[in-house]
Amino acid sequence: MNIERIDLPKIEDFRGNISVIEKNILPYEIKRVYYLYDVPSSAARGGHAHKEQFEFLIPISGSFDVVLNDTKEKRTITLNKPNKGLLIKSNVWRELENFSSGSVCLVISSGEYDEEDYIREFDAFEAFVKANS
């Protein structure tokens, strides 16, 4: 599957920890940063794939599940540590669910918002993957 778990550097201090994201951590130039918060535990986010764009998800607070599907394999990864993120590369369907109370998901993207890069229907995603394999 076109994903990668990435451990962020963790600088420990008795006053609190710091994790840093610098240009050598991600395999792309950062073009957009956004975050999801106040997501009800019964709600789901995502529900799409990207044709080109990469996204790096970090659970800044709390936890949530990322359900991934590349049409050959389906996998669920729980993100719950702010120094461990998930890089989702292109052509991977993702859904975010099971948000804990107070959770925050930071997303660091390789591209600016471009609706043409989104595939929002799973059937269309399957067809896109088949046509491009």
Active site residues: 48
Q: Where are the beta strands (DSSP E) in 1-124?
A: 3-7, 10-11, 18-19, 32-37, 45-50, 55-61, 64-69, 74-79, 84-88, 93-97, 104-109, 118-119
Task: Tokens for 65, please give them.
Answer: 């599940």
Task: Tokens for 69, please give them.
Answer: 């599907």
Q: What is the DSSP letter of 130?
A: H
